[in-house]
Amino acid sequence: MDERPTIVPFVRDEIARIRAQEGMTQADLARACGWTQSRISRIESGSAPIKLRDLERIAATLGVELVRMLERPSRRLRERIKLQELADAGQIDLALATRGLCDDLR
């Protein structure tokens, strides 16, 4: 069995999605948070860890509740785990099933 999926990649996607929805660039968000644009880029790309205090700051800067930043990623994670379980049982091809997961759940 593959490693169990985590919520982190989905949270990264959600940060980028809400930021773009608010009409902000990475540089705009970084400036508002008091950070560099490269820090936001690393958070969104996965090359830097997301700490809870960073997520709280990003949510506050974007004007959303922290729980909102976690709702959609939680749904996506549950779906990904369900697909993984079906694949482990041999009922689906995980590569084919997850191909559209990001597009379908955005």
DSSP-assigned letters across all residues of the chain: -PPPP-SHHHHHHHHHHHHHHTT--HHHHHHHHTS-HHHHHHHHHTSSPPPHHHHHHHHHHHT--HHHHHHHHHHHHHHHHHHHHHHHTTSS-HHHHHHTHHHHH-
**Which tens digit of pLDDT belongs to each residue from 6-33?**
788 888 999 999 999 999 999 999 999 9
Question: Tens of pLDDT along 49-102?
Answer: 999 999 999 999 999 999 888 888 778 778 878 888 887 888 777 776 666 554
Domains and CATH numbers, the chain: 8-105 (1.10.260.40)
More confident residue, 104 or 24: 24
Asked whether residue 106 carries a pLDDT value surpassing 80, the answer given is no
Token pair of 69, please?
Answer: 């930043």
Q: Is the pTM of this model over 0.95?
A: no
